[in-house]
């Protein structure tokens, strides 16, 4: 999910060129179809609730995209502000949240490094698959760019609040492994220099058909994974997700 400004290079963790900037700015509906198939086991919500019980919390979400995580959290928390740099993505998030009949949410177009939020207002700040884009988009300066986003995340938290970061540990994989050396360095940096603890969970995709799996994985993860899906006749695509957290 989006949240950091910059010129994205075309890249894919599973082979083939993917223009993520174009997806986030112009193809939010297709992206939302993909992520709606993710985590069919429901492990994300269980992991978050295990780290910090969610009931009654005030939440700031960074890089919210089309609001899939927002929709998981909103029924449990007191209120949630979902921020993303791409208004196109937030348009889908707004429509989906309204359709769900939820009322305890707001959305805001915002860069992760400059949130439209006062300091010390949230019990939980969460960033899902967002900060890690900087390792490809800004390359040599990712520590500085993610550091600014991380400082914002901690700024909006009340004392004793919890910061949670979700990132990929491989789509198409049964066991966790950072897809790139830069992501591996970023994850180690979170733990060694910023005191984050971590765990990993499975967030497998379950598709209605092989054809749907091939189309949607190819759209976002590239041609290599799509070919594997077609070759093996997959309707379930494994995925590993890392969860990092620390207190403010």
* DSSP-derived 3-state class of residue 10: coil
In the three-class reduction of DSSP (H, G, I as helix; E, B as strand; rest coil), residue 171 is classed as strand
Measured CA to CA, the distance from residue 16 to residue 103 in angstroms comes to 40
Q: Which domains are assigned to the chain?
A: 20-247 (3.40.50.150)
Residue tagged 């957290």 (tokens): 245
Q: Is the Cβ–Cβ distance between 65 and 4 less than 8 Å?
A: no
Q: What is the DSSP letter of 73?
A: H
Q: What number of helices (H) and strands (E) belong to the chain?
A: 10, 9
Digit-by-digit pLDDT tens for the chain (248 residues) are: 655 433 233 343 333 467 888 999 999 999 999 999 999 999 999 999 999 999 999 999 999 999 999 999 999 999 999 999 999 999 999 999 999 999 999 999 999 999 999 999 999 999 999 999 999 888 789 999 999 999 999 999 999 999 999 999 999 999 999 999 999 999 999 999 999 999 999 999 999 999 999 999 999 999 999 999 999 999 999 999 999 999 99
Give the end-to-end CA distance of the chain in Å, rounded to a whole number: 23
Return the ∠ at Cα 229 (arms to 31 and 12), rounded to 5°.
50
Please report, for residues 38, 59, 152, 205, the alpha-carbon distance to residue 212 in angstroms, rounded to integers and kept in the order given: 13, 33, 38, 11
Q: Backbone dihedral region of 45: left (phi > 0), alpha (psi from -120 to 50 degrees) or beta?
A: alpha
């Amino acid at each position: 999910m989006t949240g950091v400004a910059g010129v994205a290079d075309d890249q894919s963790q599973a082979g083939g060129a993917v223009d993520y900037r174009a997806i986030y700015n112009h193809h939010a509906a297709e992206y939302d179809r993909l992520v709606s198939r993710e985590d069919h086991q429901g492990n994300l919500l269980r992991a978050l609730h295990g780290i910090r019980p969610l009931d009654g919390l005030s939440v700031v979400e960074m890089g919210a995209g089309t609001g899939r995580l927002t929709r998981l959290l909103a029924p449990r928390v007191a209120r949630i502000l979902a921020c993303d740099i791409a208004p196109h993505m937030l348009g889908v998030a707004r429509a989906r949240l309204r359709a769900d009949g939820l009322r305890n949410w707001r959305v805001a177009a915002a860069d992760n490094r400059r949130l439209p939020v006062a300091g010390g207002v949230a019990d939980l700040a969460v960033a899902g698959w967002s900060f890690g884009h900087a390792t490809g988009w800004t390359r040599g300066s990712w520590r500085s760019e993610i550091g600014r986003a991380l400082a914002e995340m901690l700024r909006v938290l009340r004392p004793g609040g919890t910061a949670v970061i979700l990132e990929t540990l491989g789509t198409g994989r049964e066991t966790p492994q950072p897809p790139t050396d830069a992501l591996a360095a970023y994850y180690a940096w979170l733990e060694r220099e910023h005191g984050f603890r971590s765990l990993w969970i499975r967030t497998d995709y379950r598709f209605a058909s092989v054809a749907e799996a091939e189309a949607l994985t190819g759209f976002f993860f590239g041609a290599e994974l799509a070919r594997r899906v077609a070759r093996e006749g997959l309707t379930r695509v494994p995925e590993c997700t890392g969860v990092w957290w620390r207190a403010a």
